[in-house]
Amino acid sequence: MHARIASLVVLSGLAFPSGLLAQQDDPMPVSAVTLYRSGVGSFERQGTVTGDESVRLSFDADQINDILKSLVVVDLDGGRVGAVSYSSDEPIGRRLEALGLDHVKQLTLARLLGEFQGARIDLTSTSGEISGRILGVDGREIWHDDDYEEIIRLSIATDEGIVTVDEPDIRNVRLLDESLQRDLNDLLIALGTQRTEQSRSVEIDLRGVGDRRVRAAYVQETPIWKTSYRLVLPEGEGDDLHIEGWAIVENTTDHDWEDITLTLVAGRPVGFEMDLSTPLYISRPEIAVPVELAAAPKMYDRGRGGGQSPFDGDADEEENIRRRIAAAQERERQIRGDRQSSLGLPSMSASRELEESVVSLDMARSTKSMASGGDEGEVFFYRLDNPVSVGKRESAMLPIITGPIEGRRVSVFSPTTQGEHPYRGVELTNSTGLKLMPGPLSVFDGSVFAGDSQMGYIGAEENRMLAYAVDLDVDAERTTNQNTTTQNVRILDGVIHLSNVIENEYTVTLDNHDSTRDRMIVVEVPRFRDWTLSSDIQPYEETDNLYRFEIEVGSGATETLTATQARTQSTTVALTSVTLPTLLTYQRQGAASQAVIDAFKGYASRRAAVEDARKQISINESEYQRIENDQRRIRDLLRSINRQDALYARYMGQLEAHEDSLDELRSARQALVNDLAQKEQQLDLYVRTLRVE
């Protein structure tokens, strides 16, 4: 098997920063947490500092960008917030490039020493100590039967000559260039930190006198908080329902939440991620160095006569220069202050104002529960009335609602219900004064678990229907029937307009086999758009797609509910598509008037006259065609008969009679065509002016 032999190299002088492994108590413990249902949380931390002091806060490495984007620090007692520093996330590849190791992907011994070609080293091997400069690195193969292993060999130029050392024989290597050794140590620290450290530190520089209160606030990614509910149904009639709501929160941070103020917000603020911790480099154009001709030496003439200082006799000018120097110094101080502001840190004058805004808001209790709820802006929130403690990497279930809620027992039969039984359920009215977030609901009938339900968002005073079990004591059967009835018949501009009423009947038959308890059953009926409910029974509630009817079914009784929806549909048909018997049927149904019948009879008689005229023309044309065919037959016979024969004279007589008949048919056809045109004109005029209802 092919193998590459590598040995462990210990670089002397390698040291970690003294504070890197130091452990200390959290100087600013978490005091308040606000969790949102959008995957972020707002954190407040408070602590006390004395004099000039730096506070170090640690976070998960993948949260550092959120911290840099949102961190706010306030010294509440007149101190000043200085710089906020953190370890740079400079790419390792760029550090390797600075050491000339830009193409090294893995820092093995061979690759590392090969990249330091020419560097002075002290090396200890199994054969002794060697000092010199690295000449190069190569490999040689040692074969063992059908396989081989590769041995890396280091060449060193010494005062006595070139020495080679196999990599397995190397015990210690030290770079003698102190600057190169320091850079290498820093690089190894960065590599070790990148691979093993899962947290990042942010150090806040605080300047001031005496003991002072300090507060920090920031936003970072957190799991969304969830809710679950328990609903207890009363055993007796008239008793209130009881609801309990629990919030499930998870502390995925590395800090314990000890006696914090916890707020749960239903809003979803906009959030995004941006990599602010990784240094960003841009390409810059390379410009040639401007070169000018060197200045030639110049000789000045000696001056004559007495002279004076440029400020002598000009005190105003000297004062102006001093003022310009002072102004330049002030500008420098302002620039230093602007750099501090660019970190997003508030000034001392803003700290008092921020103290009021960062503090979690006070809201009045809405119901007697373990949490207070309220609205702030466009969001609703719960705030736990008592301090909360959740250990790091732990989760907790906290009560946020407990108390009575309005509702009633019902059974629900819906169009989507599978099978022949309705569901047992409850109809709730959110009388808690709070907004109920979506979550699972476990229902208990007295002390017995009755079933689970899924609850959606329910605003204050809103109603919801929830089902938790199948009601096996009630059988339900549904049928549908659709009828179409012609309601009105009109004739307009020669077209018959029919107004048809389509009725859809949805019938549910309910049979209650429970001999001890009556049932209040809510029947949901599909609601058709643009249809009108025409039933005698009216729904007590409507949705966009359903009507809700309620019907009480006594123990051992059977009840039927029929909901009828109707829609008027208008259709048009041509007069030629309708017969008089059909219109007479509509008349018997009360849909067509006598005027419509009379108008259609007038149309029918005129149309019959037109058809009769067309028939006469057709008869004329048929007779004309018959005579012409007979003439052709006679002419064919005459070609074979002698003109002197009597038969020839007979056929000629027939031809003359045929010609007389054709003349008569042509004259009659013209009269028939004129008669047809007149009758068609009369029919068209009658139809175009026909408007009866």
Give pLDDT tens digits for 598-645.
888 888 888 888 899 899 999 989 988 988 898 888 888 888 888 888
Domains 92-197 and 594-692 alike in fold = no
Class of residue 404 by CB neighbours under 10 A (exposed 0-12, middle 13-18, buried 19+): middle
Look at 17-26, 37-46, 424-433, 556-565 and tell me which has the smallest mean pLDDT.
17-26
What are the two backbone dihedrals, phi and then psi, of residue 644, each rounded to the nearest 5 degrees?
Answer: -85, -10
Q: Supply angle C-alpha 118, 120, 125, rounded to 5.
A: 110
Tell me if 500 sits within 8 A of 487, measured CB to CB.
yes
Q: What pLDDT, on the 0 to 100 scale, is given for residue 79? A: 86
Q: pLDDT category, 558, cuts 50, 70, 90?
A: very high
Residue 680 host element (H or E):
helix 646-688
Give pLDDT tens digits for 53-67.
888 888 877 788 888
HEC assignment per residue over 55-119: EEEEEEHHHHHHHHHHCEEEECCCCEEEEEEECCCCCHHHHHHHCCCCCCCCCCHHHHHHHCCCC
Q: pLDDT category, 343, cuts 50, 70, 90?
A: very low
pLDDT at 358 over 60: no
What is the Cα–Cα distance from 230 to 403, expressed in whole angstroms? 11
What is the Cα–Cα distance from 453 to 441, expressed in whole angstroms? 5
Q: In the numeric block, which tokens belong to residue 635?
A: 């002419």
Read off the pLDDT of each residue in 195-219 and give the average, rounded to a whole number: 81
Q: Is the domain defined by 594-692 classed in CATH 1.10.287?
A: yes
Q: Which fold does the domain 92-197 belong to in CATH? A: SH3 type barrels. (2.30.30)
CA dist list (Å): 248 to 8, 218, 391, 562? 49, 22, 14, 46
What are the two backbone dihedrals, phi and then psi, of residue 351, each rounded to the nearest 5 degrees?
Answer: -65, -40
Q: pLDDT category, 362, cuts 50, 70, 90?
A: very low
Q: What pLDDT, on the 0 to 100 scale, is given for residue 153? A: 83
Residue where the block lists tokens 């063992």: 144
What is the Cα–Cα distance from 680 to 195, expressed in whole angstroms? 100
CA dist list (Å): 148 to 142, 154, 280? 5, 19, 46
> What are the residue ranges spanned by the domains of the chain?
92-197, 474-574, 594-692
What is the Cα–Cα distance from 599 to 692, expressed in whole angstroms? 7
Tell me if 224 sits within 8 A of 80, measured CB to CB.
no
Q: What pLDDT, on the 0 to 100 scale, is given for residue 330? A: 59
Tell me if 466 sits within 8 A of 233, measured CB to CB.
no
Residue where the block lists tokens 């026909």: 690
| Half-sphere exposure in the Cβ direction for 32 (13 Å, CA) | 19
